[in-house]
Structure 1
Amino acid sequence: MNDDTGVDLSFGLEDVPVLCKSLTSPAFKYSSDNIQGPGCSIDPAEVTLPGCYCHSPSCHAESCCCLQTYGQAYESNGRLLHLNRTDSGYSSPVFECNALCTCGDSCSNRVVQRGLQLRLEVFHTESKGWGVRTLEEIPRGTFVCEYAGEVIGLAEAKRRQLNQRADENNYIIAVREHAGTDSIAETFVDPALVGNVGRFLNHSCAPNLFMLPVRVHSVIPRLALFAARDINAQEELTFDYSGRFGTQHSSEGLSTDGLQRKLCYCGTMNCTRLLPLDLSILS
């Protein structure tokens, strides 16, 4: 691509190029989807969920078993997420129609699986290293991108975190889903070496994105990021690394259990000065 648009970091793997105008491209292997890593017993690319038998271009709640079982997560135009809580994002599980469903590719219940549809740019921030900004306006509830990478097991996540140098970034995201009183599903995603544009998103104590586990073909969820509010063009995209959204953080000491907490440079009014640190991986 020419200098006016930048280099496509996805090398054509995304429908929309992931632009980067920097002369030094970051070193990693781009993957638009999750891949199976050490300790993960299920291939994220394997279809493990049942499908519907709808033969219309788009599914309807009165006849689609997917929508009847899991609910209708998206608006009928297939673009915006139904936000059932004004301040805290979305709390219900999301299941999209999958490869076994007989509905069309344009079905309104197929959103995250369509991949990146927005023009995003990876750029150098003033104090936070790499970051991502949008080159177009994004309405509230829009799917922006995934946080994709290696899906690894707990033991591997612990090993990688313990072996990390102080000057290295921690990319591992741990998502815990509570399905009843005693059932907890854990997913660990590490895009450090293999990942997508989501790996460049910075933390903010007042983010404009929130993360939501979305299941498409596999029981392993995709960590989808949606717009928490209307976002202007050229605005940096951020999410809360702790997984919380719309809640206050507690500011703790600079060191926790021997691990150095890193300073937060989000610059928001409610900044807690420290990046979130998930010690549960190490327990």
Structure 2
Amino acid sequence: MVHNMTEEHGLDLSGGLEDVPVLCKALTSPTFKYSTDNVAGPGCSVDPSEVTLPGCSCLSCSCRADSCSCLQTFGQAYESIGRLLNINRPESGYSTPVFECNALCTCSDTCSNRVVQRGLQHRLEVFHTKSKGWGVRTMEEISRGMFVCEYAGEVISFAEAKRRQFDQRTEENNYIIAIREHAGTSSITETFVDPAQVGNVGRFLNHSCTPNLYMLPVRVHSVIPRLALFAGRDIHAQEELTFDYSGGYGTQPAAEAPSTVGLQRKQCHCGAMNCTRFLPLDLSILS
């Protein structure tokens, strides 16, 4: 891909696709295709870019809960400034579904129910860490509850996720994230996203046992959720951005090892006081 030079004399990894450049000052940049949105991969039966959700008929700049069909159907998720209303993790361990206004809605692009779809709003930098490979840090302060970035990539089937895991070499990084959402008592929806070859800045985020971001599935135009990362607390400028690969809010990472025999756990280098010493491991894809 073609990288643009930024005024800070670094590479813009997004190649101008993001409204805010993704800075990388390393001498060599990672090889992958940058995409701001999820793309259909092997086994994906629904085009993530296709608008499949109904829209509201609001004519105001910002939708109101007493008159917007989107907010009445799915509930209000954001404050007027775009901050999540329900930041704290619920006792059940599951989050309330988030649905934003979409391309079929007649409200303004500045509607307060349009947050994740606006893309990056904060200046982020991809950098080399001391012991974890690539990482991402913020160049400015980010307030608790604010959207930071997506974890975008190829949306693939369970079978394809399993195949890729078995084909993966031990020294290779695992990027596949499995989102499991509970709808009712027995219905579970699974979404598998792999940004290894096609992805965005989210692919460089490291795990931490005490993270400052958390992942929440957000639906915009499609029934396929966007894996949105929000600030779990106030984050300072120059601080590395991390999330817990073991999830919460119904998210689970794919397995880290290519076989179920003699599993080789990868060490965790997050440095947190409660560090479990190993990256989370999900065996479900390998079963």
TM-score (norm 2): 0.92
Contact 2:6 2:21 in 1 (8 A): no
Q: Check 1:26–1:36 CA distance in 2 against 1; reply closer, same or farther (3 A cut).
A: same
Q: Which residue of 69, 73, 85 maps to 1:82?
A: 85
Aligned match for 2:154, one of 150, 155, 158 = 150
Give the Cα separation in 1 of the matches to 2:107 and 2:46. 26
Is the Cα contact below 8 Å between 1:83 and 1:90 reproduced in 2? no
Provide the residue aligned with 1:104 in structure 2.
108
2:39 pairs with one of 35, 52, 55: 35
Contact 1:84 1:90 in 2 (8 A): no
* Structure-2 separation of matches of 1:235 and 1:34: 27
SS of 2:72's partner is helix
Unaligned runs of 5+ in 1: 246-254
**Which residue does the alignment assign to 2:247?**
243
Residues 86/164 of structure 1: CA separation in 2 closer, same or farther (3 Å cut): closer
Aligned residues: 273
Counterpart mapping for 1:1-283 below 5 A: 1=5, 4-77=8-81, 79-83=82-86, 85=88, 91-244=95-248, 257-283=261-287
Q: Distance in 1 between matches of 2:30 and 2:185?
A: 43
**Letter paired with 2:275:** C
Partners of 1:151 and 1:189 within 8 A in 2: yes
How far does residue 76 in structure 1 lie from its aligned partner after superposition? 1.7
The one-letter amino acid of 2:83's match is: L
- Per the normalisation by structure 1, the TM-score is 0.93
Q: Percent identity?
A: 78
* Structure 2 Cα separation of the partners of residues 60 and 90 of structure 1: 26
Q: Deviations over 1:93-116 (max 9, x none)?
A: 000000000101000000000001
One-letter identity of the residue aligned with 1:173: I
Matched position secondary structure for 2:190: strand
1:156 alignment partner AA? E
CA distance in 2, matches of 1:7, 1:54: 40
Per-residue CA deviation, residues 135-192 of structure 1 (Å, 9 max, x unaligned), is 0000000000000000000000000000000000000000000001111000000000
Q: C-alpha offsets along residues 243-279 of structure 1, whole Å, 9 cap, x if unaligned?
A: 137xxxxxxxxx9643311000000000000001111
SS of the counterpart of 1:103?
coil
- After superposition, the Cα gap between the structure-2 partners of 1:168 and 1:209, relative to the gap in structure 1 and judged at 3 Å, is same
